[in-house]
Structure 1
């Protein structure tokens, strides 16, 4: 896609999409986000903001891709004790992903890249991809390694000079930094509170709910976040994912 052209699919008109596909834009980036609590200081659409930003930057970096609208809501049942959270069953999310991929395949996108940005979505994404791959002509690439995603966020903090590591990341230093970098006006800095730190059972969070571990919905210390760190984190994820996509596309 030529420099300066729109990369966000929903902002384009259909003749622009048709022209882009005919001129070699054959990759669509689909983030899979959520609407769920992120403590008293981050907006409910944090994972969707993250997905929008990652998809846009990845598409721009590739140069021959578009960023499809981020899928939301996601599988957030473990956050439902916090008002405002909206959740769907895994089967519903997988059906929506199928429909997205079928639509993009119908319009001759050759590669569809799924980028989950909420922990509860990684499993459904990995589960549904083999079925979709058997059905469509397009290649479906799932960047759904949750451990790698968490590692990239922690590495971004470290590269920004913040030595703070969390095995389970939610509304703490990394995610707060990312929202600061995307739109700092969305962070209620006056409401920032820390949450439990140290070793936390992800299995318990999923099975028993966040409220059993954190009263305010936060894990870790968001006060360590900075705007600069958020920019480093986002770019770290983008660069890594772009390399993954290039390898997967070249292998086809």
Structure 2
């Protein structure tokens, strides 16, 4: 099935009421071995592949800057913060609503979560038929470890510097979060890695991407939305709404 790319289109080719998928990424450090746009690359790939499974869906240009304040002490990181990101999401949605149908933001950076929850809660209250979902990997490490390294080895192997890969703080994300939110990444890991890239492979990255795409397509197809505007898997319907 063909995925329609909004940036490549001319306006008469864009139908009213289209389903639009918006990748949401970041420009932030990903250790000494992965590029700054890793989150954007992953979100864009998930959106592209998901759109290929959904009829008449459109791939919007990605949001390439996010809320990355926890990475601010690493050169190269560019963060627009929560308020600016919220404004971007709100204004994009209001603009999409002039011609699109449903809009789904597909998020590749965990630091954007609070912003998306707040913005989409407001937008759904305004009556917009939108939702968001994350590029999640159950059991994956937190940042620039084996999970993201495998994904990038699959998606952009020429941009991965494996000879520079090192392990960082390998504690699970729930254990890291209190210190991460208080002190930032650099206090926990001078290299910026939260996890261990050892053992990463393109094949593991392919399987991980396949799982992300399947989950995203399943959530969009079911359109079960929680109070924060998040799409959830069809089996988890308690407290959710359908529209």
Is the counterpart of residue 118 in structure 1 residue 109 in structure 2?
yes
Q: Does 1:55 align with 2:47?
A: yes
Correspondent of 1:9 among 3, 6, 12: 6
- Contact 2:152–2:160 (8 Å) recurs in 1: yes
Partner residue in 2 for 1:42: 34
Q: CA deviation at 1:206?
A: 2.1
Structure 2 CA distance for aligned equivalents of residues 46 and 211 of structure 1: 18
Partner-residue secondary structure (3-state), 1:220: coil
- Which of 52, 61, 69 is matched with 1:69 structurally? 61
- Separation in 1, partners of 2:63, 2:181: 21
Which residue matches 1:160?
Answer: none
- Quote the Cα distance in structure 2 between the aligned partners of 1:96 and 1:237: 25
Indicate the residue corresponding to 1:161 in structure 2. none
Shift of 1:142: 1.7
| TM-score (norm. length: structure 2) | 0.87
Match of 2:204 among 219, 229, 236: 229
In the TM superposition, structure 1's runs of 4+ consecutive aligned residues that sit over 6 Å from their partners are: none
Change (3 A) 1:198 1:130: closer
Matches of 1:60 and 1:174, distance apart in 2: 24
Q: Does 1:171 align with 2:160?
A: no
Whole-Å Cα distance in 1 between the matches of residues 194 and 216 of structure 2? 25
Paired residue secondary structure (1:142): strand
SS in 1 for 2:223: helix
Q: Is the 8 A contact 2:25 2:65 kept in 1?
A: yes
Higher deviation after alignment, 36-45 or 110-119: 110-119
Within the alignment, does 1:100 sit opposite 2:73 as a pair?
no
Structure 2, unaligned stretches of length 5 or more?
A: 225-233, 235-241
Gaps of 5+ in 1: 155-164
Take 2:63 and 2:47, find their aligned partners in 1: how far apart are those partners? 11
Any conservation in 1 of the 2:137–2:208 contact (CA below 8 Å)? no
Rounded Cα–Cα distance in structure 1 between residues aligned with 2:197 and 2:13: 41
RMSD (Å) for aligned C-alpha atoms: 1.8
Matched, 1:246 2:221: yes
Q: Which has the higher strand share?
A: 2
Number of aligned residue pairs: give it. 225
The C-alpha deviation readout for 1:53-93, integer Å capped at 9, x for no partner, is 11111111112211111112100011011100000121100
- Single out whichever of 72-81 and 126-135 deviates more from structure 2: 126-135
Partner of 1:190: 163
Q: Residue in 2 aligned with 1:143?
A: 133
Give the CA deviation at 1:186.
0.7
CA displacement at 1:150 relative to structure 2: 3.8
What secondary structure sits across from 1:222 in the alignment? coil
Deviation, 1:135, is 2.5
Counterpart position of 1:217? 192
Give 1:133 shift.
1.5
